[in-house]
């Protein structure tokens, strides 16, 4: 797809995109999420290639922040109640053209964000309300390679996916 060649910035939701959407709630109150290692590998390669990766999520678990920091993501916004305001502030402050952004979301809280970016995407198991507004639906579910799928497609389209050199 030609749209993959215009992307400079990835914005991802967490629950249902970077994770499988399941939460394990422990008696201690801790809520644990599962991340897919192959998504993390692609994130590291995208960052090394100079792409911007931004996380915007309503959830605010510190373990999530630590995982994202471990991957090298510095633009992590958790506990966000108003994604649109944060998006507008981010794009203005960082001088990012929304038409060069790939956003991946999976449910109703992502709807308005998906309508603002140049390349809206979602995992295969996204809400039926989200799929019709996306230009690309990954064949993979959230937390099971959907993030790797879109990163790899963008990097391949731009000639930056070079496994033989890694």
Range 2-159 has CATH code 3.40.50.300 = no
Taking the model in full, what pTM does it have? Answer: 0.94
Q: pLDDT tens digits, the chain, 166 residues: what are they?
A: 667 999 999 999 999 999 998 888 889 888 889 999 999 999 999 999 999 999 999 888 888 999 999 999 999 999 999 999 999 999 999 999 999 999 999 999 999 999 999 999 999 999 999 999 999 999 999 999 999 999 999 999 999 999 887 7
**Both structure tokens of 13:** 């939701």
106 assigned binding-site residue: yes
Task: Give the residue extent of every domain in the chain.
Answer: 2-159
> ∠ CA 22-43-51 to the nearest 5 degrees?
135
Q: How far apart are CA 63 and CA 66, in angstroms?
A: 5
Annotated binding residue 110: no
Is 13 labelled a binding residue?
Answer: yes
Residue with tokens 């959830």: 59
């Amino acid at each position: 797809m030609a749209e993959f060649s215009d992307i400079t910035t990835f914005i991802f939701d967490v629950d249902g995109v970077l994770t499988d959407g399941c939460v394990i709630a422990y008696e201690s109150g801790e809520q644990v999420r599962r991340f897919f290692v192959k998504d993390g590998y692609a994130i590291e390669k995208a960052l090394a290639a100079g792409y911007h990766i931004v996380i915007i999520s309503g959830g605010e678990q510190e373990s999530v922040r630590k995982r994202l920091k471990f991957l090298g993501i510095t633009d992590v916004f958790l506990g966000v109640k108003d994604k649109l305001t944060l998006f507008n502030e981010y794009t203005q402050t960082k001088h990012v053209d929304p038409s060069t952004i790939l956003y991946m979301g999976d449910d109703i809280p992502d709807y308005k964000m998906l309508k603002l970016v140049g390349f809206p995407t979602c995992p295969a198991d996204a809400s039926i309300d989200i799929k019709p507004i996306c230009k690309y639906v990954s064949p993979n579910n959230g937390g099971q390679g959907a993030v790797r799928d879109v990163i790899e497609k963008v990097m391949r389209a731009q000639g930056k996916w070079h496994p033989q050199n890694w």
